[in-house]
A and B are shown apart, each in its own frame.
Chain A
């Protein structure tokens, strides 16, 4: 991997993570703001080996858990699993099209919400149809749309 590409990728990941917390925590915007942290993880996972992607996912998950008194650790599990799955796609798909990028972001975000829903436990989660199928799909579509914009501006994940 060239040095310029490493710098570009990590700058993008850091910018997405900072923007995520600025929108969600700094400005207090809820679902109206996209899940840029998952986008950042998915971008990083296409560049990292599986262990590194898991570590980044775990760190991002802990950051979200630090702001939640409900089910501490649920975000860490969901983000770690997402990082691992994202890194595994490097061996399965050589994505260089925008269609692949959008699909990757959509499925990645949806899987993250699914794992989070599973880890949350019966008492805290809403019905599957509401939280995962309806809200999760909408959030995934939103993240994929924003991811497409990011890809257009900054280049595709995995692109040299």
Chain B
């Protein structure tokens, strides 16, 4: 007759194996549960266990951005010090900050500034978290911009935060055209062997249309995903010629997602054409005359190319 101890051990072992098999089945089923449930689980974990770590990253990002901004402002303040003393400090600082955020000022209240957070875990390289959500008017598909151009779009919106993908995501597509409207196509991400080698390619352009190197490529607004006129990049070289039908071109991206920490996100009431934001004929934000006369602050000279934005698109 077997002892109780041996029976108990066998039962315990069987129970452990059963538990392990059950959890493995649960894990295998996880990728196939509904997207809503996946979001719910992710959001619950982000708002509980992972919250301190996300808050730490947000704090560090803001501190880093503040430090950078202070350096830039310090350089201008050095040259303006004599005149600043005669003016109200708060008003002057406010005006200088608005200069730095020229794009935000031109864009108007339909665009909200946001901070980008990157999880930094494997598999999340092309995604980011934005500290705005549906409470602020964000919607799925909203474009994410910098002064240089398109960074990506919002994919999931929660009440006070949102998830987005940048242009290095395999699913990224944008209906695009050359800035002069002569050629249309689709811009998509082409993954490199390493993530740093990810590139943008303008596909599906007509064979008989030749696009010159350096031509600006912007969103065309076709398809309704992105508003018209957002810079995507500039043409670098011909990528491929398919028979006598199609050509594709490599693009130099306007915005490098890896270096972006602050962005503008379109809200529900955003305009359908954003060309004016990057046009030279848009009146520049009002600048104090003293800033234009100081030697260390470069005066805003009109660029030679009438198509180019003031000083280039954020360059």
Known: A50-B16, A51-B18. A29 touches B124 (CB 8 A): no
Picked from A57, A67, A75, A116, the residue with its CB within 8 Å of the CB of B50 is: A67
Known: A50-B17, A126-B193. A27 touches B27 (CB 8 A): no
Q: Which A residues are in CB contact (< 8 Å) with B194? A: 130
Question: Is the CB of B123 closer than 8 A to any CB of chain A?
Answer: yes
Question: Is the CB of A9 closer than 8 A to any CB of chain B?
Answer: no
> In the bound complex, do residue B24 and residue A21 qualify as a contact, i.e. CB atoms below 8 Å apart?
no
Report the interface size for chain B: residues with CB under 8 A from the other chain: 51
> In the bound complex, do residue B42 and residue A74 qualify as a contact, i.e. CB atoms below 8 Å apart?
no
Q: Which A residues are in CB contact (< 8 Å) with B12? A: 49
Known: A72-B31, A124-B170. A51 touches B53 (CB 8 A): no
Question: Is the CB of A114 closer than 8 A to any CB of chain B?
Answer: no
Residues 30-52 of B, flagged 1 when their CB comes within 8 A of A and 0 if not, give 11110000100111011001101
Q: Which of A76-84, A93-101, A142-150, A151-159 interfaces with chain B? A: A76-84
Known: A62-B41, A63-B45, A74-B123. A80 touches B60 (CB 8 A): no
- Bound state CA distance, A58 and B117, in angstroms? 25
- B interface secondary structure, majority: helix
Q: Which of A39-88 contact B (CB under 8 A)?
A: 49-55, 57-58, 61-77, 79-81, 84, 87
Question: Is the CB of B267 closer than 8 A to any CB of chain A?
Answer: no
Known: A55-B19, A66-B41, A66-B45. A61 touches B27 (CB 8 A): yes
Question: Is the CB of A119 closer than 8 A to any CB of chain B?
Answer: yes
Question: Is the CB of A25 closer than 8 A to any CB of chain B?
Answer: yes
Known: A25-B54, A26-B53. A68 touches B119 (CB 8 A): yes
Most chain B CB within a 10 A radius of its CB, from A24, A58, A65: A65
Question: Is the CB of A123 closer than 8 A to any CB of chain B?
Answer: yes
- Bound state CA distance, A11 and B191, in angstroms? 41
- Bound state CA distance, A91 and B18, in angstroms? 17
Q: Which A residues are in CB contact (< 8 Å) with B155? A: 69
- Bound state CA distance, A126 and B31, in angstroms? 19
Q: Which A residues are in CB contact (< 8 Å) with B46? A: 66-67
Q: Which A residues are in CB contact (< 8 Å) with B28? A: 77
Picked from B27, B43, B49, B124, the residue with its CB within 8 Å of the CB of A76 is: B27
A137 to chain B, nearest CB (A): 15
> In the bound complex, do residue B20 and residue A127 qualify as a contact, i.e. CB atoms below 8 Å apart?
no
Question: Is the CB of A28 closer than 8 A to any CB of chain B?
Answer: yes
> In the bound complex, do residue B42 and residue A80 qualify as a contact, i.e. CB atoms below 8 Å apart?
no
B124 to chain A, nearest CB (A): 4
Picked from B23, B32, B38, B119, the residue with its CB within 8 Å of the CB of A80 is: B23
> In the bound complex, do residue B123 and residue A70 qualify as a contact, i.e. CB atoms below 8 Å apart?
yes
Question: Is the CB of B126 closer than 8 A to any CB of chain A?
Answer: yes
> In the bound complex, do residue A54 and residue B20 qualify as a contact, i.e. CB atoms below 8 Å apart?
yes
- Bound state CA distance, A63 and B53, in angstroms? 12
Known: A28-B118, A77-B30, A124-B170. A54 touches B38 (CB 8 A): no
Q: Which B residues are in CB contact (< 8 Å) with A10? A: none
Q: Which A residues are in CB contact (< 8 Å) with B94? A: none
Known: A25-B54, A66-B45. A51 touches B27 (CB 8 A): no
> In the bound complex, do residue B30 and residue A69 qualify as a contact, i.e. CB atoms below 8 Å apart?
no
B177 to chain A, nearest CB (A): 27
Question: Is the CB of B15 closer than 8 A to any CB of chain A?
Answer: yes
Question: Is the CB of B56 closer than 8 A to any CB of chain A?
Answer: yes
Q: Which B residues are in CB contact (< 8 Å) with A160? A: none
> In the bound complex, do residue B27 and residue A22 qualify as a contact, i.e. CB atoms below 8 Å apart?
no
> In the bound complex, do residue B27 and residue A77 qualify as a contact, i.e. CB atoms below 8 Å apart?
yes
> In the bound complex, do residue B53 and residue A70 qualify as a contact, i.e. CB atoms below 8 Å apart?
no
Residues 54-76 of B, flagged 1 when their CB comes within 8 A of A and 0 if not, give 10110011000000000000000
Q: Which A residues are in CB contact (< 8 Å) with B52? A: 26
Q: Which residues of B contact A (CB under 8 A)?
A: 12, 15-20, 23-24, 26-33, 38, 41-43, 45-46, 49-50, 52-54, 56-57, 60-61, 117-127, 155-156, 163, 165, 170, 191, 193-194
5 A-B pairs closest in CB distance: A51-B19, A73-B30, A73-B31, A26-B56, A67-B119
Taking A26-B53, A77-B28 as known contacts, 13 extra A-B pairs with beta carbons closer than 8 A to each other, sorted by chain A number, are A25-B53, A25-B54, A27-B57, A27-B60, A51-B18, A51-B20, A52-B19, A62-B45, A69-B124, A73-B29, A73-B33, A77-B27, A120-B123
